[in-house]
Amino acid sequence: MKKSIVLSVLVCLGMSLSAYAQGATKIVDEFPAFFPPLTMCNGESVIIEGIATVITTIVNDSNGGLHRTQKIRFDASGIGSEGNEYTLVGYTSNTSYNGTSGAENRTRTLSYVIKDNIKGKNYRYSGVVHFTVNSNGVLVSEFLKDNTPCE
């Protein structure tokens, strides 16, 4: 479940890369966001849907490498299986470096809260994802650390 959420957020990165090849230094994209079914702190199942806004900044360094910083904001909500309303509040951010050889290091921090608008038991998620791709395009390392306490 957690990996599917992380993968959903990584898809956000891929969707914003269409403008990446155009050489723009700042790109803003908006598109529908969908989170897989989640079990809230009260045991209720909910699907969160809404809009993701992706702001990407790309800078060329003096060696021809690309530095990319990305922030994703969500405006999303859902109705649970028992009729409670939930609102997603939070963001994700990403920083990566693409060297001139095609190798890439990417670290993404994720942080959001899904607020139970009626009962007040909130679901909090925070995590860090890191992966490294070598110049042949092969994933050589990955790391996921996350935490999902109820408040």
The predicted-structure confidence for 29-82, as pLDDT tens digits, reads as follows 999 988 888 888 888 899 999 999 999 888 887 777 788 888 888 899 999 998
CA distance 65 to 134: 14
Q: Is the pTM of this model over 0.85?
A: no
Q: Where are the beta strands (DSSP E) in 11-133?
A: 26-34, 38-39, 45-46, 49-60, 66-79, 85-98, 104-116, 123-133
Pairing of strands 38-39, 45-46: antiparallel
CA distance 10 to 98: 16
Q: Which residue has the tokens 């914003």?
A: 16
CA distance 49 to 58: 28
Full strand arrangement of the beta sheet holding 85-98: 26-34, 49-60, 66-79, 85-98, 104-116, 123-133, 139-147
Q: 90: left (phi > 0), else alpha (psi -120 to 50), else beta?
A: left
pLDDT of residue 141: 85
pLDDT of residue 30: 95
Summarised one tens digit per residue, pLDDT across range 67-126 is 888 888 889 999 999 888 999 887 777 777 777 677 888 888 888 888 887 777 788 888
pLDDT of residue 53: 93
CA distance 5 to 112: 11
pLDDT of residue 21: 40
pLDDT of residue 60: 81
pLDDT of residue 24: 52
> Is residue 151 helix, strand or coil?
coil
Please give the structure tokens belonging to residue 106. Answer: 């990417």
